[in-house]
Structure 1
């Protein structure tokens, strides 16, 4: 059983009627319902909860954290960001969605500004699978389209991804690295581009399929934990060298 926590700032849905019409129960609940699987145990957390819903206990009980944010990146407490970073270093998976490219946690883990070009014109996005052998692409067609999405365009200010899984083309002509993997410490990170709040992207079965695959991929492998720090006892006998 993979323990999944879906974090959403849950601000747009409460103050913008257009967004509330698309996601009346919040983006987090739409994703939770859409990726529901017998092998997942899913909880949600939001910005307005104590400790943003990401207490030490919740994170310790989370295998993969999914993160969506946009309007309130600056409202996320730095201590919680540090807490999430430490859990990623220790093996928790992180799936970063759409405008969470500007979240404190993603920028902290990337070490770059994570900026990009953008345009809200409700244009068509075609998502190409450029690494069909990757587990996150399993079960997908070679490409699929979203009829209306926000455009993101290069240059995307991120480190070179460990693996590039998807590339997007937009009706206006731009292209974008829309599915990227990274490793930080023992944790695996996947950034996935689609998901503007005014479009019903998180009801699209291909998008949900990608997120399900990403959760399975990012889940901890339960490999042996690395041992670091001072090691006073050697594995082999050290011969005492006589002074010359």
Structure 2
């Protein structure tokens, strides 16, 4: 898997796609946040923005990303406690990994394993940002879930759906024209899939408040 571009190049990419506007930022504000972080190998620049607006910006081999038809509430999926976000509209995600070794685990099984390793599960927005920079992170039969985002019901319990990002087969309601397109969908929290890993990261830090080489803050304490 290819390394991430420098943070300043990531900012330029997000500005070209108009992602800064989704968070009410100017191009200069986003670029300054990236520049202030200095060199930080393996870090992903993330802007708080609705998943429904980010998904169509993802493109892989000429195919544009989309949200499945039965996930109209996608923007209501929010970070869980184990994926708490830093303050501010922009932050850095250190060391994203697809989690291939956790394929055929269920989300319920994978979450304690990820946190037990001192890592944090990726949120849906973070997974989409990763694909905006590196769409190659999605491969046929090697895709990933973003269990850092869940929907909480009015009674306080978590909805059983867990979001995931994979490549469409072009069947059913997806349509043949979407074969191979990046797909934002969901799976049940208790189910296992041989083609879905569990994306995680080393931690998160606020953009604009970091110094090169600083240690990432824990997602739980952040």
* TM-score normalized by the length of structure 1: 0.27
Q: Which structure dedicates a bigger proportion of its chain to strand? A: 1
* TM-score normalized by the length of structure 2: 0.29
Q: Which has the larger radius of gyration?
A: 1
